[in-house]
Structure 1
């Protein structure tokens, strides 16, 4: 059973998600807190598997403070935001967020997303509508080879290079080499930055099921 904390949002909405999670055969409600700050206090003493935060909890909070709090949470559990975040994708991914779920997901898709996150994947469904500070230009993406595009498309949904290698029939060392080349070509500062680029450029269509792109 995966333990879930539900934090923030309107009481009735939070209660509804808590009820749904607690009725699942694979997830259990560990706690629900009125605020993200109270969830952090809970996590300081109690291990958990997923922290589900209502995205509006981040509204009005300076970016530096938001990153600090999210990193603190991500150091203890997997962090999922519910709703449209009031900040850009690169900041969230860089802070350790591994899920952003729209408010209109069907129930089975909601649990599929949580399951993927619990296994180390990343889910962004649908894509956040907030504009990022440095969107990728098409010419930059055009500099990638077909194989490099394949690798970049899998970075957001696969937990590590071994998983990407298995999907593409490559060695983990080859995947690592591709990722280093992609970072150099795109000027990406980190793997988290590559995740943001993959979504911002629409190379990855927001959804729940990762696929290996075709072509060489």
Structure 2
């Protein structure tokens, strides 16, 4: 059972999300609050797997909540930003801070449920329009490549970085490289360790910021 926690200052949004999530056999909402400060107090004592987090809230905004959750001792839950505002700066700030996903509140319920399951399994999730613009933004932010940045990576790890940056999941990467999914997971873990990154979404950001890959 995947334990989900809701943080949104609009009660109607929380209620609707809770109804959709609790109707699933493998998902359950274990708590919900309307502010970032309440969330931080509650999450310090409530073990959860995935947090659905709004960006604009009274007091602490969603970005600051992400920073504090990541910095807190103990395991950090996977965080999906769920917002009304499809703004590149919000998406980039949230992902850089440590979020594993960025979805709009008008996304279909099926997309929300799929996102929760995906980030729980270690994948990253972005609303498609946001993803396309974010890739272009990241590609334009760095004027030159940095060959030394990938010096410690093996040839196979470089292949995995490229595939992760295109949005491929572990099963797809395994199929394309003719290896097992456990081998792919081991490569991803090694890449994260060597580059000092937190998760797959940061591999994507790193790849584009260092011009390791370029948008088609």
Superposed pair shares fold, TM > 0.5: yes
Say which of 100, 105, 108 aligns to 2:107. 105
Aligned-pair CA distance for 1:56: 2.0
In the alignment, what sits opposite 1:196?
A: 205
Say which of 160, 163, 166 aligns to 1:153. 163
Describe the SS at the equivalent of 1:55.
Answer: coil
Describe the SS at the equivalent of 1:56.
Answer: coil
- Contact map agreement 1:81 1:100 (CA 8 A) in 2: yes
Say which of 133, 158, 178 aligns to 1:169. 178
In the alignment, what sits opposite 1:78?
A: 78
**2:118, 2:62 → 1: CA distance?**
30
- Contact map agreement 2:81 2:94 (CA 8 A) in 1: no
**1:76, 1:62 → 2: CA distance?**
15
Backbone CA RMSD of aligned residues = 4.6
Cα deviation code 1:129-158 (max 9, x no counterpart):
6896884469749xx99x957632315665
Describe the SS at the equivalent of 2:52.
Answer: strand
Aligned-pair CA distance for 1:26: 1.6
As a proportion of its length, which structure holds more helix? 2
**1:69, 1:85 → 2: CA distance?**
22
**2:100, 2:18 → 1: CA distance?**
20
**Structure 1 runs not aligned, ≥5 long:** 206-216
Aligned-pair CA distance for 1:51: 0.7
Aligned-pair CA distance for 1:38: 1.1
Structure 2 CA distance for partners of 1:112 and 1:81, relative to 1, 3 Å: same
- For the pair 1:25 / 2:25, whether they are aligned, the reply is yes
**Structure 2 runs not aligned, ≥5 long:** none
**2:32, 2:113 → 1: CA distance?**
18
In the alignment, what sits opposite 1:211?
A: none
Cα deviation code 1:3-60 (max 9, x no counterpart):
1111113111221111111112221111110112212211111111111011223998
**1:151, 1:133 → 2: CA distance?**
16
Structure 2 CA distance for partners of 1:105 and 1:61, relative to 1, 3 Å: closer
What are the residue-to-residue correspondences of 1:41-120 with 2, within 5 Å? 41-57=41-57, 61=61, 65=64, 68-72=67-71, 75-83=75-83, 84=86, 87-120=89-122
In the alignment, what sits opposite 1:212?
A: none
- Contact map agreement 2:7 2:34 (CA 8 A) in 1: yes
What number of residue pairs does the alignment pair up? 194
